[in-house]
Chains A and B, each alone.
Chain A
């Protein structure tokens, strides 16, 4: 098995110590810690997990077992960042799952953090659909909904600029 990273419908932003990935299909955003980002980058379909583990060992100067690599690949798979699903590694007699995770932590963590996905209106000064809660196109803090956002109690009206100003329409 040679894992391949998913390339389609992803927006990727590399930062010095982590990588941000936005899934355009599932509208989910992830923050990959440094080592798991490295692993994901090297899932080119050319190397086995063992080969990737050895390359990572050379990169960070610390031992990386294939079991730990299995944990990392499973996490990437669960986040839908690999093209083929990867099953979780079975704990062997030698290594319990707890030990595996502890080993992963000593490598600086192999975490994939789900972060709240940006929505269209969030960065703007008005409230996006879903955040508008009352019949006055606003929320309790006094901010108004963006025009077109559903924020009216009545029927399925939306907020917009009408003849009497910003109103439910």
Chain B
């Protein structure tokens, strides 16, 4: 198969995934308009992206539920529903351990965004992402030793929200649950911004992330403070708006809550095809790949690993801090490769020096 044909095939498959997930986050989504054959084709993409439950939400009641693909999606849904309930208890335990150490974390992404969906089971709850101020990180890491990594992703600072004032982030955060189960989550404006920027930083590799943007966007109530959402670094605010527009264009998210005057960004023409191609390719995202350092001694594996790491146009734009416009992305993708290589080499050199000084 030629490169062009392979690319077209991936784009088509990504388009099927987008069709399967359109409005899947709503309480009553429209019935799925795929054939059994198309569902069977797209099922591995949905399952691999953690979007099996959402796929089931669209497939149930359509006659497709009894197909093998429908059964696989149903199984994912059941699995995720139980995992969500089990995780809720676990989160409360983890948060209580932090509170006992005098740290009040804010939860975001993963479980926090799963709770925005109309029923457990639609979205996998993922890691428990906990955000603490830099001053609290050491105490938090100590309190959670043994938990970090497998279950808990403890963030030092507020990641994509670090252009916000910590006091304001906390003041705008909300408490979900009650009593010992109470967990603090980001306020809706901060959470939408966090989810949008996180999805873009990872090149919108997983369709699930764009569904997250869509559900958070459509959850925005009448008192959603769009001025505050757009506050902070102008370019980041524009990026976040790009994610909202992408959710609208690709998945049909309702964007009318964003006043016309604020919809100041226009999606570049390359973006939607780039996203669909990625979805069809189903590449593992950053953080779910074998570290490149571990592959340096395996030339065959290294080649494949580099292909997996080729930054897509979105990742390159964010990585180099550029705007989303119609200019060609290839120079940015090459530039992002150089940036990553330099960063990787510097880190290797630093670790080498540290190792040498320890041996001395």
Contact = CB atoms under 8 A, between A and B. Distances in A.
Interface stretch (A47-55, A103-111, A136-144): A136-144
Given A22-B85, A124-B150, A141-B284, 19 more contacts: A13-B81, A13-B120, A15-B121, A20-B78, A22-B82, A22-B86, A29-B82, A116-B75, A118-B82, A120-B151, A124-B151, A137-B290, A144-B287, A147-B148, A163-B351, A165-B291, A165-B293, A165-B347, A166-B293
A65 interface: no
B284 A143 contact: yes
A22 B81 CA distance: 11
Q: Chain A, interface size: which category?
A: 35 or more
B82 A125 contact: no
A11 B82 CA distance: 8
Contact of A123 (B126, B146, B288, B290): B126
The residue in A13, A29, A118 that gathers the most chain B C-beta atoms within 10 A of its C-beta is A118
Interface string B157-188: 00000000000000000000000000000000
A116 B308 CA distance: 30
B78 A144 contact: no
Nearest to A120: B151
A148 B287 contact: no
Interface of A: 11, 13, 15, 20, 22, 29, 31, 115-118, 120-126, 128-129, 136-138, 141-144, 146-149, 160-161, 163-167
B319 interface: no
29 contacts: A13-B85, A15-B121, A20-B82, A31-B78, A118-B80, A118-B82, A122-B79, A123-B50, A124-B126, A124-B127, A124-B150, A125-B284, A125-B285, A125-B287, A125-B288, A129-B150, A136-B290, A137-B290, A138-B290, A138-B294, A142-B288, A142-B290, A142-B308, A146-B151, A148-B148, A161-B149, A163-B354, A165-B351, A166-B294
A167 B79 contact: no
Q: Chain B, interface size: which category?
A: 35 or more
B125 interface: yes
Interface of B: 50, 75, 78-83, 85-87, 90, 120-121, 124-127, 146, 148-151, 284-285, 287-291, 293-295, 304-305, 308, 347, 351, 354-355
Contacts, number: 120
B279 to A, nearest CB: 16
Contacts of A166: 291, 293-294
Nearest to B352: A164
Given A31-B78, A115-B79, A123-B124, A142 B289 contact: yes
Interface of A, secondary structure class, is loop
A13 B294 CA distance: 42
B126 A120 contact: no
Nearest to A159: B149
B150 A147 contact: yes
Contacts of A149: 149-150
A141 B288 CA distance: 10
Nearest to B74: A31
Contact of B351 (A11, A117, A124, A164): A164
A86 B50 CA distance: 39
Given A115-B78, A121-B150, A142-B305, A137 B294 contact: yes
A136 B294 contact: yes
The residue in B124, B127, B285, B290 that gathers the most chain A C-beta atoms within 10 A of its C-beta is B290
B83 A122 contact: yes
B266 to A, nearest CB: 31
A141 B304 CA distance: 11
Nearest to B292: A165
A125 B127 contact: yes
A120 B83 CA distance: 8
Nearest to A118: B83
B287 to A, nearest CB: 6
A136 to B, nearest CB: 4
B50 A146 contact: no
Contacts of B308: 142
A167 to B, nearest CB: 7
Contacts of B78: 20, 29, 31, 115
Contacts of A31: 78
